Structure 1
Amino acid sequence: MNLKSLNILVLTTLLALTAGCSKKGIDQPAAPEPSPGGKVITPSPPGDVVGKVTVGYQGWFAAKGDGSPIDAWWHWTQDWAKLPSTTNSGIKSWPDVREYTSTYPTSFPNFGNGQTANLFSSFNDQTVNTQFLWMKQNGLDVAALQRFNPNGIEGPVRDAITAKVKTAAELHGRKFYIMYDISGWVNMQSEIKTDWTNKMSGYTSSSAYAKQNGKPVVCIWGFGFSDNNHPFSADVCIDVINWFKSKGCYVIGGVPTNWRTEDSDSRPKFLSAYKAMDMISPWMIGRIGTISEIESKYRTINMPDMAYCKANGIDYQPCILPGDLQEHQRIHGDFMWRQFYNMKSLGAQGLYISMFDEYNEGNQIAKTAENASFIPAGTSFVTLDEDGTACSSDYYLRLSGDGAKMFRGEIPLTVTRPTKPML
């Protein structure tokens, strides 16, 4: 082979490698190009959600005596008026509360180590600040603050926690955005617009409020689910999506797993509503629980979803979940890491971790009881060492942080989990 032929071969190889990296990468996507119809058919450039890792943040725990407007054991118990106990519990996992300056005693038995079984309140500024510090320490970029129907008895405490989240995000250099969960919200179509206009839109002036493509980010979770809790028609959903767009917002849709095929958990004839969104984030809680299920959904859901979104100018933000601890799904982090690997390989525009503080469903990454000495004695709460591997209480924060680094291209793509369960 002569020198000219060799140079041509090298150049061809480099171009091919560059094209392959561009296809999978998220750090330097091609500039959006309009199709003949004017719709952008390539991913949005990096912003506060594209190229970033978002965590779902409930912030919905309160306790009697914490000074909150609700003055109840909000989300800790079945009966919010009564103390948490073995017969009145609303959680599946027990939190590690050692870093909170204010905690509240319960009627649970003392821990295995003899300490009192206390719980935290999200209404305390120090609680929220500590949790956002954990996000900062582990490189988690954005918090999607869940906001349910704000017009009931929970409204005042949700409003107060929104203000606390803004302060904590600004303090720790994190971004946040409002994520409306419309489950059970009967008058959603009109009331969500009023709530945004009168209350939530004011937060977009904060330096910490997430922007994408220069627009404030809003997520609406629940459009298109085929159950009685989300009865809204496609026309109603399109009206709400377009209204937010008219207010200059970048709209994310928290949608059913089977949104694209419009079957199973999705209502039929909803594709027009899904396509109106700027970003699609399909729900995966309860859909995967093993590595084999992750791989199956990767082939049948994630890959065709990504192809559809790319062809239709929609950004793709799949869910990453640590697994239900109580159901022994986590495999000391291998379950979650496989999802990070797959979604980075896929070239997803963003990632959504479900969830940060969801102790109610056992899918939290926030600090959790390590072993039996940190849960009420005699209870059935599953701890992080459940499969015989000792894990620090912050393990899933650190694991998520390493996944975020890999996603952002700060460490190489690797199928092998790099995070050690114990430091």
Structure 2
Amino acid sequence: MPEGRPSGGRRRPALGGAPLLALLLAGCGTRVPLPITNPLPPRGEIGLGPRVDPATMDRKLLLGYQGWFGCPDDGSPLRRWDHWFRRDGRAGASTVRVDLWPDVTELDADERCRTPLTLPDGRPAEVYSAYNPRTVDRHFRWMEEHGLAGVFLQRFAVGLADPRLRSFRNAVLANVAAGAESHGRVFALMYDVSGHPREGLVEHVEADWRFLVDSLRVTEHPQYLHHRGRPVLAIWGFGFVDRKVTPEDAATLVDFFRGNPEPRYRVTLVGGVPSRWRSRHRDSLPDRRWERVYRSFDVISPWTVGRFRDRASTDRFYGREVDRDLAEARAYGMEYLPVVFPGFSWHHLKDGAPFNQIPRRGGRFYWRQVQNAVGRGCTMLYGAMFDEVDEGTAFFKVATSPQEAPAEPPFVTLDADHEAVPSDWYLRLAGETQRVLRGAPLAAGDLPFASPARTDAR
């Protein structure tokens, strides 16, 4: 935002669930809300329970799951640092590409990857690999413990023709499927077309989906998410100014997934589109042919990461853009999936980018987005992202202070805005968001919990 069994390392498990082992989002709107497909639960049944219902997206916060992190000794066919450090240089302080550092204190020794970096106390700084099924299972345990519904697993179109990358990604998919089944969470796939050249995109994605459906039988998994009676699939990246997809290729893929003559390939299609999809400017290509593509999804999810940075700009964006988006979505029979995110920073990933570009403000920035979305009647949300430390949007457990991150280079820790919060703070906020979607009252204050203590005198 990664066929076959990987060579080396332990044997990979088949995707979880019996078949695999054998191998109307309710809309948002202040005036004319779409009908709610699931009634509000009784007050005593607000929690999700031990197993999340995979039959609907309604009343769920679904988090994006990158699952792209790898280590040289994780047993995968890649045998390299993936996403922790730049590929064009040796692992070290000058090649770091993440702005948040993961909290690995709960991970067992065989889940940790030792890096060349050191913590302030001299201990080696460690990370993890999504190729390790125990770590992915742990992530799903965190979701269960915090009452979260599940994830959209990212599947990048670029590299689908590379056997090693496909092997890695299929292994991560198996890990996610097993974690979802073990902990009663749901999952669905999201194709990301970022970085793929125009040539071959349609062929690669269509062939991959046939493989996933026919060989891995992913949509038969007991916890694979469905909506409107079909498996859910998302495609992210159509129409963005910096993507190479044409409207014709996009329309071909939409038709393949929504109108396929073979029923087993049909899905309820979610479109991750530019924030200005409706007006076709700024982050959206202006070509009018994109109108047909944008309006052809079952569920539309405009990408809002980086489009506002504080309370005032969040309120302004929702008032100017989202209200009109909701009217447009209703007019064309689409459901609406707003994106919410904790903060943003890609200082190490993008040369010259500001450090801590969009501050988290102790969770206040995130909670204001939830208030805006839920206050407009939205009953499902997309959280960006569970594990995105590259761009500093991660919900999962990360370093809370500089003492828990490498001494060099600088990292955005959870106390960066002078507020001390625990490493699972954003999982807690996500859990409260899920409770609200299930019918709990929406807290009107800056935070749904007591404000964390500040670490300075201000």
Instruction: State TM-score, norm by structure 2.
Output: 0.80
Query: What code does the residue aligned with 1:212 have?
Result: H
Give the counterpart of 2:236 among 221, 229, 232. 221
Matched, 1:394 2:424: yes
**Counterpart code for 1:344:** V
Percent identity of the aligned residues? 34
Task: Tell me which amino acid in the other structure corresponds to 2:303.
Answer: W
Q: Does 1:74 align with 2:102?
A: no
Q: Is the 8 A contact 1:22 1:28 kept in 2?
A: no
Tell me the residue number matched to 1:162: 173
Structure 1 match to 2:212: 199
1:278-331 deviation line (CA, Å, top 9, x unaligned): 000011112111111111110111111111112221010010010125335111
User: Does the C-alpha gap of structure 1 residues 24 and 273 become closer, same or farther in structure 2, counting only changes over 3 Å?
Assistant: closer
Counterpart code for 2:202: Q
Distance 1:329 1:95 in 2: 18
Which of 252, 256, 266 in structure 1 is aligned with 2:284?
A: 266
Deviations 1:256-287 (CA, angstroms, capped at 9, x unpaired): 01001122211221111111100000111121
CA offsets 1:220-276 (integer angstroms, 9 cap, x no match): 00111122xx22222221111111112321000000010011222112211111111
Which of 1 and 2 has greater Rg? 1
Contact 1:26/1:347 (CA < 8 Å) preserved in 2?
Answer: no
Separation (CA, whole Å) in 2 of partners of 1:132 and 1:124: 13
**Residues 241-252 of structure 1 mapped to structure 2, 5 A cutoff:** 241-245=254-258, 246=260, 247-252=265-270
Which runs of 5 or more residues in structure 1 are unaligned?
1-18, 31-45
> Aligned to 1:204, what secondary structure does the other structure show?
helix
- The whole-number CA distance in structure 2 between the counterparts of 1:87 and 1:350 is 40
Amino acid in the other structure paired with 1:223: F
Cα deviations by residue, 1:401-422 (Å, 9 ceiling, x for unpaired): 1122112212345344123466
Aligned to 1:105: 114
The letter of the residue matching 1:121 is S
Task: Choose the corresponding residue for 1:140, options 114, 128, 148.
Answer: 148
Segment of structure 1 superposing worse, 254-263 or 325-334: 325-334
1:304 aligns with 2:324: yes
**TM-score normalised to structure 1 length:** 0.86
**Cα distance in 1 between the residues matched to 2:440 and 2:447:** 15
Find the counterpart in structure 2 of residue 316 from structure 1.
336
Q: Which moved more, 1:391-400 or 1:244-253?
A: 244-253
CA deviation vs aligned residue, 1:115-167 (integer Å, no higher than 9, x gap): 32111111111110011111111222120000012222422101111111100
Please give the per-residue CA displacement for 1:83-139, whole angstroms capped at 9, x wherever unaligned: 3x2112111111101111120111112x22443211111111111001111111122
**Distance in 1 between residues matched to 2:270 and 2:37, nearest whole Å:** 20
Equivalent pair of 1:257/1:283 in contact (CA under 8 Å): yes
Give the number of the structure whose residues are more often helix, by fraction: 1
Q: Which sections of structure 2, spanning at least 5 residues, go unmatched?
A: 1-28, 41-53, 346-355, 454-458
Give the counterpart of 1:411 among 424, 429, 441.
441
The 1:151/1:200 distance shift into structure 2, 3 A limit, reads: farther
**Aligned partner of residue 315 in structure 2, secondary structure:** helix
More RCO (CA 8 Å, sep 6+)? 2
- With over 3 angstroms needed to count, the CA separation of the structure-2 counterparts of 1:108 and 1:420, relative to structure 1, is farther
RMSD between aligned residues: 2.3
Whichever residue aligns with residue 116 of structure 2, its letter is S
| 1:212 and 2:194 aligned | no
Q: Is the counterpart of residue 86 in structure 1 residue 86 in structure 2? A: no
Counterparts of 2:408 and 2:184, CA distance in 1 = 41
Change beyond 3 A, Cα 1:344–1:47 = farther
- Letter of the 1:108 counterpart: L
Aligned to 1:375: 405
Task: Give the distance between the partners of 1:344 and 1:410, measured in 2 at CA.
Answer: 11
In 2, the alpha carbon distance for the partners of 1:154 and 1:80 equals 17
The Cα offsets for residues 329-376 of structure 1, whole Å up to 9 and x where unpaired, read as 111000000001110011124200011100001110110101121011
Corresponding position: 1:172 with 2:183 = yes
- 1: CA distance, partners of 2:121 / 2:430: 29
Separation in structure 1 between the aligned mates of residue 322 and residue 179 of structure 2, nearest angstrom: 33
Change (3 A) 1:179 1:328: closer
Output aligned runs, 1:290-301, within 5 Å: 290-301=310-321
Q: In the alignment, residue 112 of structure 2 is paired with which amino acid? A: T
Residue in structure 1 matched with residue 25 of structure 2 by the alignment: none
Count of residues paired in the alignment: 386
